[in-house]
Structure 1
Amino acid sequence: MDSSVQSKCVIPQRVIMGIMGSLAIIVSWLLRGSLSLAITEMVVPLNNTGKNNVSIVCPVETPTTIQSTIVSKMIGTRYDWTHQQQGYIHSAFACGYIITHIPGALLAQKFGGKWVLGLNVLATTICNAAIPIGIEYGGIMALILLRALMGTANGSMFPALSVLLSAWVPEKERGKLATFVMAGGEIAAILSSYVSGMILHHSTWPVVFYFWSFVALIWFIVFTLICSNDPSSNSFIGRRELDYLKREIGQLKRKKNLPPTPWKEICFCMPIVILTVTQIIGDYVMTIVGIYLPKYMKEVLGFSVQDIGFYLSLPHVLKLIVSLLSGFVSDYLISEQYLSTTQVRKIFAALASVFPAGFIVAAVYAGCNRLLVVIWFVLSFGFQGFFYSSFRINILDLAPNYAGPIMAVINGISSSAGIVAPNIVGTMISDSTHEQWKFVFWISFVLAVFRTVIYTIWGSAKIQSFNEPKKVPEAAELTRLNEDGKERETKK
């Protein structure tokens, strides 16, 4: 690397990698989340299905005749899918998502995270773009199959991203940069809610799938051109940044001949087991909120699809701000030694669990007071922003050298909640009444408290012993050790 390269790179390459990693999460969540809001316009309204005569609980503002005419023309084909069938559709993604975590982690460990990450986003993009055509010709079964294929393609995203982050992010920047990357999900939620709501208001639901697929394709092209597996193979990095990363990380080139992954140690490590349990609970709660909150706002509160898109974007704005601030605060508390890493992770984990669940319960008890409901939802999502600087980056604390496999184990197992939650909730809200929704969210609150308790007792951020594999001396070294031993015996 010569000095001329350095002058061309205004932004450090680890920051560019962080930006592209964050964008990877953004486009992936936009693709997988395309269905959440679109399905409210894809299905026949609850009280018009002929199977359930329950009307919307709260009064609805009736649109003008002109607005009604425009909307009826722009909605597109609607389908008579029950809540249970919609649960099968939502859980299909998680079914595929689970099975590719460990294979994706192994591929990323062996070949690097760049192409594993890039190709899984590309495959997810193709499946998402095919959904409108698939439904037209294959109906609900085609949709379920495509969503399962999307999950299969996307399952290796977090393991591959974890491998990239472990190669690029120094420990002292972990809170800021890793949290920034993981907070991409909040930017995606803002864009998905607001932009998808606008698309659904002005166009038909298939446009949502086509639009986000096009955005993801642009990301794939840029990512493959400017990103690399590790600092040593990056064409744009300067000498100063290389020296800094070598000093802070120590290893700039991805190790191609790693020892076997210590699966036994990973699976029986108590902090990892606890993280897995907490992640299962977290995924259950977030699946309910992410999938069913738009339905609650439409079927119970009577919001229009455009209003839903706008009001759902507000909570994610606060959550994004809290996420980024918590990353800086956590790094500051640790670097200044006010608190240990473990203490910071546990405090932030409590903030990310109990308060959000409590505010969700409060929102249900607010009845038809739409303003108060929105305020509670905003506060709930805001406190969830502490998740990234606690539970999520705790994986990098435990064993950076095996971040990919650990992420695969935790994220893969916890994704089972995405299969269970839609089917359970789909059955529980068959009539979509306030009482049914109260029960759903009370269960979420109890689980959140349990999650906080077990993490506070058994969670840890201490680096685990298996992170550094035992080194086996080479033949020459063994010979020298034997000779030294004989020499000491002779002197005795």
Structure 2
Amino acid sequence: MTTEPATRLQDSQGLWKSRYTLALLCMLGLAVKYAIRVNISVAIVDMVNQTALLESGGSGNDSDYVADDPLACPGELAAEGADSRKDGYFVWDKHKQGEILAAFYYGYTVGHLPGGVLADRFGGKLIFGIGIFLSSLLTVLTPASAWAGDHILFVNRLGVGLFQGGIVPTVQTLICSWAPDHERSRFSIVFLGMYWGIVASMAATGALCETAAGWPLAFYVFGGLGLMWCVPWYLLVADSPARHPRIDPAERRYIEASIESSARKKLPVPWKSVISTPAVWAMVAFLITFDWSFYLLITSLPLYLANIMHFDMHSNGLLSAIPHITGGVGSLLFGWLADFVFRKGYVSKITGFRLINAIGLLGPAVALVVVALVACDTAVIVVMLALSGFCMATNCSGFYMNMQAIAPNYAGTIVGVVNTFGNLSGIIVPYVVGAFTNANQTRSAWNAVFYLSAALSAAGYVVYAVFTTAEEQPWNTCPSGKESKAKSEGSADTATIEDEVVEESGRKSLDF
């Protein structure tokens, strides 16, 4: 028995589908994930006792390191009065603060590969849910961990990163199980959640720190939101349409017939084939250089705006959020554009991937070069920051689609492998920026950082464009010795599905 072509099947008639619920909860889960990830970067300002740090001879404000710079921009750093900000509890110098902020990325890098493998093996619902639950719980415990000692806080943040490491690979597994092939690019809208999370966290954390409860409230609020998210996730989401207890039978048939790899079985990961595939390493090269620019914006942009452009803290926060605001807009636009272009067949998939990812990697590189060349022209720099975030949004609709295309049966594993290497940039970037600028806060030093980043982006794109592919890899399907068995099992599964559809249609009036 053969499965009816997807184009001749009817989707469910309702306006809201079960797959839309999955996409919405994935989006909100990613928003929580990124809010938890970045809120400590803002809260740590109120956690540190700058007065005690200066009296003890530690390094306080980064402006202590500003060197004589003949190219310096006009203006001066906004001085904060003694009463303008409450001193925190902790006497952490810059080195200690850097260790605490970096702890997340050590755990995050390690967590990607096992998270992806576990998602492919045991299902995306479980791994995503556990990742948000445990990282949210640790976030609620962050104030207690900080008061217990900086080493306890380091372990806490390491755990948050570790548990969140598997979430992005898990999203890929769920998309490959739920999104019809022609809707894959549309499902990239779920990544809009990461921009919402970053912007909301940057804005809300500062406001929460100003309340009577102070900085601990920021961790209680975002951690609590994550725990609340787990309830609808547990009740409304399933690993696949076949395992969803309340899905419309018509939608289930439509999805299963539309996904080329829907009949796959749980097979061991072909590690030798994965590691020896040039396209996988092309994506590693792409993501290492892409994440380099991304983490440069997250971790180092505020320093540049404060120490070189001399923006006060309020303006700094607003400008630091600009790339993420335009990134959210770009995520919507590029998701729709990729879906339209691929559906109409205007370009081949491989050409589309190369074009979209060129925008995502080379666009920010050009913007960094322009920032270095325009000196202190604030308006141009603001435009370049906005352009960088907008271009980087292509990552959601281009790069991750490319990973899904080459091995949809192992989407979580592939994303885990690639992201493990890519997220090393989150650890390396602060050290490289520090080596150039810590004792030399000048425009020349920062320009060197920007030129280096642009050069790495160009090299990464060349490697990606030459070695990537849009073709499904042979190792994505069953080995030749198991092919006939898999086909017969697939046919049996199809028959079972159709029998269940008839049975469920008879019971449909009983479902509420």
Category of TM-score, reference length = shorter chain: 0.7 to 0.9
Residue 132 of structure 1, CA deviation? 2.2
User: What TM-score comes out, normalization by structure 2 length?
Assistant: 0.83
Q: What secondary structure does 1:393 align onto?
A: helix
Residue 373 of structure 1, CA deviation? 2.6
CA distance in 2, matches of 1:200, 1:105: 35
Q: Deviations over 1:103-156 (max 9, x none)?
A: 2223222321111110111111122222222222202x2232222111111111
The one of 117, 120, 123 aligned to 1:109:
120
Q: Judge conservation of contact 1:342–1:460 (CA < 8 Å) in 2.
A: yes
Mark the CA change 1:102 to 1:461 in structure 2 (over 3 Å): closer, same or farther. Answer: same
Map 1:87-486 → 2, pairs under 5 A:
87-139=98-150, 141-177=151-187, 179-202=188-211, 204-249=214-259, 258-431=266-439, 432-470=441-479, 471-472=481-482, 473=484
CA distance in 1, matches of 2:485, 2:369: 61
Q: Deviations over 1:283-310 (max 9, x none)?
A: 2221221112223223433434333333
| 1:12 matched to 2:12 | no
Mark the CA change 1:87 to 1:11 in structure 2 (over 3 Å): closer, same or farther. Answer: same
Once structures 1 and 2 are overlaid, which stretch shifts more, 357-366 or 264-273?
A: 357-366
CA distance in 2, matches of 1:440, 1:209: 33
Q: CA RMSD for the aligned pairs?
A: 2.7
Map 1:47-86 → 2, pairs under 5 A:
51=59, 53-54=64-65, 58-61=75-78, 69=83, 71-73=84-86, 76-77=88-89, 79-82=91-94, 84-86=95-97
Question: Aligned letter for 1:77?
Answer: Y
| 1:23 matched to 2:36 | no
Question: Aligned letter for 1:112?
Answer: G
Gaps of 5+ in 1: 1-5, 478-492
Q: Deviations over 1:283-341 (max 9, x none)?
A: 22212211122232234334343333333333222211112211121122222221001
Question: Aligned letter for 1:28?
Answer: K
Q: Judge conservation of contact 2:367–2:388 (CA < 8 Å) in 1.
A: yes
Question: Aligned letter for 1:245?
Answer: I
Residue 398 of structure 1, CA deviation? 0.7
Number of residue pairs the alignment of both structures matches: 460
Mark the CA change 1:209 to 1:29 in structure 2 (over 3 Å): closer, same or farther. Answer: same
Q: Deviations over 1:422-443 (max 9, x none)?
A: 2222333213332322222221
Once structures 1 and 2 are overlaid, which stretch shifts more, 350-359 or 105-114?
A: 105-114
CA distance in 2, matches of 1:21, 1:275: 23
Gaps of 5+ in 2: 1-11, 489-512
Partner of 1:33: 38
Q: Deviations over 1:411-463 (max 9, x none)?
A: 12222222222222233321333232222222111111111212222222111
CA distance in 1, matches of 2:374, 2:145: 40
Residue 55 of structure 1, CA deviation? 5.2
CA distance in 2, matches of 1:276, 1:192: 29
User: What TM-score comes out, normalization by structure 1 length?
Assistant: 0.86
Q: Judge conservation of contact 2:107–2:165 (CA < 8 Å) in 1.
A: yes
Q: Deviations over 1:178-215 (max 9, x none)?
A: x1112321222221222223334556333322221122
Give me the identity figure in percent.
25
Mark the CA change 1:363 to 1:205 in structure 2 (over 3 Å): closer, same or farther. Answer: farther
CA distance in 1, matches of 2:103, 2:478: 38
Question: Aligned letter for 2:172?
Answer: S
